[in-house]
Amino acid sequence: MNRRYAILGDIHANLEALQAVIGDARSLSVTDFVCVGDVVGYNADPGACIRIVRDELGSPTVRGNHDHYCSHNEEKLVDFQPLAASAIAWTRQQLAAEDAAWLAGLPLTKSIAGFTLVHSTLDAPEHWGYVFDQLDAESHFTYQRTTLCFHGHTHIPLVFEKRHEVVRWQPEEIRIATGVKYFINTGSVGQPRDGDPRSSYVIYSTDTRTITFRRVEYDVATAMAKNRQAGLPERLAARLAAGR
């Protein structure tokens, strides 16, 4: 049976963006939703986004760094930029106990139907390393056992391909080739950082063996207004309009 997986990441408590992406995916006959982490952080609707991902979608999900620190109140935030730290501190105060427990219990990696999910990298998922270039991806590929591995964390959609060497290229529709490994950044649903404010996610179709990158417009103005009303830093609202 053909499965069409919508692979979401870096939702970051942006309810308007998440709802728009789900609507787009369902209009394209997606059968399953999965998530590469960071359901919460930065934006104003952490509880609502958790309930959608966990309860409505029943989405297999891996733990992102914001999921981790928002659900581990005892851990210090000294290594975070001030904006991220303030958003995590705010989110910790909003989470119900059951939601925090769900985030804390998420695995760092997960295999589903022949592909792998991780928020950052498979070589050291607990260190939350960023992958921007071929050298970063090379270490990861040493640990990738499946043809496909999907990740997030940088909020920038990218494809890394491993044949004899690692090649980095911009997202487009991919037809999976035999004997090649792919490390695919889905981009961000809730806080894109590539200069395009539209939400980003991918669809993986098992029968055609294709991966399609999607960009979806959403109600940015409402998301910004909610952030301001919640008392989150102004920069977190403004960056949504800029996609940075």
The pLDDT-based confidence of 24 (bands split at 50, 70, 90) is: very high
The pLDDT-based confidence of 75 (bands split at 50, 70, 90) is: confident
Q: The tokens of 34 are what?
A: 């999965």
Residue 82 has pLDDT above 90, yes or no: no
Residue 200 has pLDDT above 90, yes or no: yes
User: In the prediction, which pLDDT does 182 show?
Assistant: 95
CB 94, CB 85: distance < 8 Å: no
Average pLDDT over residues 189-215: 96
- Residue entry with tokens 């359901």: 39
User: In the prediction, which pLDDT does 73 show?
Assistant: 85
As a CATH number, domain 4-242 is: 3.60.21.10
CB 80, CB 69: distance < 8 Å: yes
Residue 237 has pLDDT above 80, yes or no: yes
Long-range own/partner contacts, residues 175-178 (CB < 8 A, 24 or more apart) = 175/208, 175/209, 175/210, 176/147, 176/148, 176/209, 176/210, 176/211
